[in-house]
Amino acid sequence: LRALRISVDVPGYDVLQLTIDRNLLDARASGKDMPFSIRAGSSTLSYDETGADPESRSLRVTVPAGTESIIIRGNAVAAEPLGYQSAYSTLNEAASVIASYKAKGVVTGEADDLLLQATDAAYLGKYHFATDLAGEAIEAAHRADRIAVVANTVMNEAETSIMATKTLGGDVSQAEELLDHTKEVYSYGGYEEALNLANYARDAATTKINPFLIVAAIGMSAAAVLYVLYRRLPGAGKAPAQESVVQDDGSNLQSVFVEKPHLREDDRMVLKYIVDRGGEALLAEIRNKFGLPKSTAWRLMRRLEREELVEITKFGNQNMVRYKLKPEAHQ
């Protein structure tokens, strides 16, 4: 609906009280309520808005004598009213499924993001789109749980293999460090990456392999593994040309926050995380830590790049984010 016609019988001057369901008709712009257009024939009628909530708006319309019908026009409406019940039923199901997995300790970042998009779509009256997004949220939650279960099983197998090899006197230092990294990635909800890393850690516990040859064999987790090995090398990442990029005791970061009060809270949290990690972190680690979708993570990185606070370089097939000190901090 974009207009609602109401038949009336007004022998004399009168006032009409109306409550309009937003799911049928509304007038909004930039997220704010806008005036309705109310007419009787060629005349524009005045009205007072007596109340508004997320579901409805209440109007008191002045109706002249002899009026037989009035037309109320809006601009933001339920274009797919027949999909209303299905959309909200699926939204409720998605919220219930996600809540049940969260209660088990599963990180459902992707499902949360999809559910938020679905809720926004339903509010705008895009019910079929909202239903599809809510369905994707349900599947994302199920998928996260399935992969989490498998990844946890393989992590336990890796731990068992490491203990067995250590008992026999074998060197399992690389496998242990990889497993520690795997557990960290897992705790942030990066279950697919954790599964790949856990498989590698399990194999590394029983096989002596050149670490730089293994990297090519483990797909998307290659850069993560290489990063773990890289950080173990004496003086890694400490070349003079990079010294000012990756070292900060935290005081420099605080001065940045003072000088740039416009920085968003999520930008500040990510910067602090990078500094706490020694001044550099993989973008995938940042996404997992804060539960960020890819598009959101990249927008955040672009903001920090524009502020000249970070630089992004390729590390294997991943993106490395490095914090940049202010020039005066390393003179």
Considering only 80-94, 209-223, 260-274, 286-300, which range has the smallest mean pLDDT?
209-223
Say if residue 108 is in the same domain as residue 156. Answer: yes
Statement: residue 178 has pLDDT above 50: yes
Say if residue 104 is in the same domain as residue 184. Answer: yes
Say if residue 104 is in the same domain as residue 185. Answer: yes
Which of the listed residues 194, 229, 264 is the one where a domain comes to its end? Answer: 229
| pLDDT score for 292 | 81
| pLDDT score for 203 | 84
Say if residue 37 is in the same domain as residue 67. Answer: yes
- Under the banding of pLDDT at 50, 70 and 90, the label for residue 93 is very high
- Under the banding of pLDDT at 50, 70 and 90, the label for residue 160 is very high
- Do residues 128 and 118 make contact, with C-beta atoms less than 8 angstroms apart? no
Say if residue 209 is in the same domain as residue 147. Answer: yes
Say if residue 258 is in the same domain as residue 217. Answer: no
- Under the banding of pLDDT at 50, 70 and 90, the label for residue 254 is confident
Mean pLDDT of 278-303: 84
Question: Of all helices (H) and strands (E), which one includes residue 172?
Answer: none
Considering only 111-125, 201-215, 251-265, 274-288, which range has the smallest mean pLDDT?
201-215
- Under the banding of pLDDT at 50, 70 and 90, the label for residue 25 is confident
The CATH number for 299's domain is 1.10.10.10
Which of the listed residues 14, 39, 73 is the one where a domain comes to its end? Answer: 73
Say if residue 91 is in the same domain as residue 216. Answer: yes
For residue 144, tell me if it sits in a domain.
yes
* DSSP symbol at 189: T
- Under the banding of pLDDT at 50, 70 and 90, the label for residue 185 is confident
Beta bridge partners of 319: 314
Say if residue 68 is in the same domain as residue 144. Answer: no
CA distance 301 to 100: 32
For residue 142, tell me if it sits in a domain.
yes
Collapsing DSSP states into helix, strand and coil, what is residue 280?
strand
Say if residue 37 is in the same domain as residue 89. Answer: no
For residue 234, tell me if it sits in a domain.
no
* SS3 readout for 20-54: EECCCCCCEECCEECCCEEEECCEECCEEEEEECC
pLDDT in tens, 96-154: 999 999 999 998 888 888 898 889 888 887 888 889 999 999 999 999 999 999 999 99
Say if residue 186 is in the same domain as residue 251. Answer: no
Say if residue 224 is in the same domain as residue 265. Answer: no
For residue 11, tell me if it sits in a domain.
yes
Question: Of all helices (H) and strands (E), which one includes residue 281?
Answer: strand 280-282
Which of the listed residues 73, 99, 133 is the one where a domain comes to its end? Answer: 73
Residue 225 CA, chain-centre distance (Å), reads 25
Statement: residue 162 has pLDDT above 60: yes
Give the C-alpha distances (Å, rounded to integers) separating 193 from 172, 215, 222, 229, 260: 21, 14, 10, 17, 35
Mean pLDDT of 317-328: 75
For residue 79, tell me if it sits in a domain.
no
- Average pLDDT in the chain: 80
- Under the banding of pLDDT at 50, 70 and 90, the label for residue 249 is low
| pLDDT score for 307 | 86
For residue 219, tell me if it sits in a domain.
yes
Mean pLDDT of 187-211: 79
Instruction: Choose between 325 and 225: higher pLDDT.
Output: 325
Domain count, the chain: 3
Say if residue 210 is in the same domain as residue 245. Answer: no
- Domain assignment of residue 293, given as a range: 239-330
